[in-house]
Structure 1
Amino acid sequence: SEMASGFLVRAISGKNLMLCNVTLQPYSESPLHGHASEEMGIIIEGEFDMKIGDESQLLKQGDIYCVPPDTIHGGVTRKHRTVMVSVFSPPRKDYE
């Protein structure tokens, strides 16, 4: 489902885990937010300027990230589409 303009999420959930294929169009934003779930992911294609807590990092293809529970995070894409796979535990109810 489209979460915001240019931000498409395809998700599947088990009892304790959620796997998401996330596609962000060029110059799209994942606004700063937090959630109770722990989140880990890998960049499959493109680049993503990600902020996790007080740290910022440019993530590129093959880079992985980890967001602890209740940590403010978000980011923006650059001139190319970005595809990432994100895993949440426990599953996020707002993505179901």
Structure 2
Amino acid sequence: MSETFKSQNFQREAELAWEHADEGIERQIYGYDNRVMMVKVKFEKGAVGSVHEHPHTQVSYVESGVFEITIADEPQVLRKGDGFYVPPNTLHGALCLEAGVLIDVFSPHRADFL
């Protein structure tokens, strides 16, 4: 697959815009090309990442906070330093129990975020 677009090689947090993703949820888009994308997602306490699915593989890291993550009807409470994997086309969602940040990586990139 040839690269038809990509982000800048370097991203600086202070220069990246926060985008409204949902009630109590904002995101910053970091590096990406056709094959991969990294996104920083900030949650307020009580914010809900509604249950959804997408064709992308997703791997996420809990940078801070406490989250109840549900993947295919299996809920788990995850804290700073934990992570999770979501296979393509699998229902998943998040409930933020303590304000925090998730680092999401998608393959291929999420065109709907650009």
TM-score range, shorter chain: over 0.9
- TM-score norm. by structure 2 comes to 0.80
Q: What is residue 86 of structure 1 aligned with on the other side?
A: 104
Matches within 5 A, 1:47-62: 47-62=66-81
Q: Give how far 1:14 is off.
A: 1.3
Q: What is residue 6 of structure 2 aligned with on the other side?
A: none
Q: Give how far 1:82 is off.
A: 1.3
1:94 counterpart SS class:
helix
Asked if 1:69 corresponds to 2:88, the answer is yes
Q: What is residue 2 of structure 1 aligned with on the other side?
A: 20
Q: Which has the higher contact order (CA 8 A, sep 6+)?
A: 1
Larger Rg: 2
Q: What percentage of residue pairs aligned between the two structures are identical?
A: 28
- TM-score norm. by structure 1 comes to 0.94
Q: What is residue 26 of structure 1 aligned with on the other side?
A: 45
Alignment partners' CA distance in 1, 2:73 and 2:93: 11
Runs of 4+ in structure 1 over 6 Å off = none
Alignment partners' CA distance in 2, 1:21 and 1:29: 16
Q: Which runs of 5+ in 1 are unaligned?
A: none
Q: Which runs of 5+ in 2 are unaligned?
A: 1-18
Instruction: Give the superposed CA RMSD.
Output: 0.8
How many correspondences in the alignment?
Answer: 95
Q: Give how far 1:20 is off.
A: 0.3
Q: Give how far 1:54 is off.
A: 2.2
Alignment partners' CA distance in 2, 1:32 and 1:14: 26
